[in-house]
């Protein structure tokens, strides 16, 4: 895998990691009753994830155009981080909804 491909994978990994952290921070805010802050953290996470998704889509488009991507452990890790981040968002949304019910329906 060439240096540019490694940097591209690292960009995906970095942005998905930041997105995942934001989603977890959103849960912590909701737990304290800070639902506006939780929403802001979710939006922040979405922005990081969108950056990762844009880079990922570019890689897919290049491969669809005939530019092969060499398989590597770092690429596999980037793909795994994207999938994990998608699940973190789904779970964060659900947990925040539960906290809203628990804390606002007292």
Please give the average per-residue pLDDT across 38-61, as a whole number. 97
Distance of alpha carbon 61 from alpha carbon 45, whole angstroms: 24
What digits encode the pLDDT tens for the residues 21-49? 999 999 999 999 999 999 999 999 999 99
Long-range contacts, stretch 102-105, CB < 8 angstroms, 24+ apart:
103/33
Do the beta carbons of residue 48 and residue 80 sit within 8 Å? no
> In the CATH scheme, what architecture does the domain 3-104 have?
Up-down Bundle (1.20)
Distance of alpha carbon 106 from alpha carbon 33, whole angstroms: 12
What's the DSSP call for residue 33? T
Distance of alpha carbon 5 from alpha carbon 84, whole angstroms: 21
pTM above 0.85, yes or no: yes
Delimit the domains of the chain by residue range. 3-104
What digits encode the pLDDT tens for the residues 2-16? 999 999 999 999 999
Q: Of the residues 28, 53, 56, 77, which is catalytic? A: 77
pLDDT at 1 > cutoff 90: no
What digits encode the pLDDT tens for the residues 72-94? 999 999 999 999 999 999 999 99
Asked about 77 being catalytic, the answer comes back as yes
């Amino acid at each position: 895998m060439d240096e540019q491909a490694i940097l591209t994978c690292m960009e995906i990994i970095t942005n998905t990691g930041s997105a995942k952290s934001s989603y977890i921070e959103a849960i912590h805010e909701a737990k304290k009753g800070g639902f506006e802050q939780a929403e802001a953290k979710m939006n922040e996470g979405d922005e990081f994830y969108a950056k990762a998704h844009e880079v990922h889509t570019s890689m897919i488009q290049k491969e669809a155009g005939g530019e092969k991507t060499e398989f590597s452990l770092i690429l596999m890790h980037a793909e795994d981080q994207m999938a994990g981040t998608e699940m973190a968002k789904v779970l964060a949304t659900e947990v925040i909804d539960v906290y809203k019910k628990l804390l606002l329906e007292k």
